Amino acid sequence: MDARDVIKVGMSAERTLVVPPERAVGHFASYMPMVYATPMMILEMEMASADAVTPLLEPGWVTVGTEVDIKHIAATPVGATVRTTARVIAVERRVIRFEVEAFDERRRIGEGRHARCLVNVERFMSGLAAGSRK
């Protein structure tokens, strides 16, 4: 499958999340404050990016994250609502590049770029299985 056949620059998706305690950095490290953890924000950015393109993929194909270049620019407390957006900015044969942003009720809290690679699940999994037997 060639992503250029179905994915177009400008395609986008948005996700909304009320930050639960288990997504706070203090949940993972008890000495840290209970604010939205950077890896959890990046997870939402990756999921929004996947949401933007997955409905157009042929059966048996998915995208997997391969690059992140993200700034977490403001803290967000547990219980706040976060809106995450992803927009396609470039499409190569197997790589789709996104501009991603996250906002809480007051301001932008994160921004950056993300790339996802188009893979055939069956081939991907058989490659992993072959590698684990070595």
Catalytic site residue from 46, 76, 84, 101:
46
Catalytic site residue from 16, 22, 27, 38:
38
State yes or no: is 72 an active-site residue: yes
**Global pTM value:** 0.93
Q: What is the DSSP string of 42-73?
A: HHHHHHHHHHHHGGGSPTTEEEEEEEEEEEE-
pLDDT tens for each residue of 61-108: 999 999 999 999 999 999 999 999 999 999 999 999 999 999 999 999
pLDDT tens for each residue of 120-134: 999 999 988 887 655
Catalytic site residue from 44, 63, 72, 85:
72
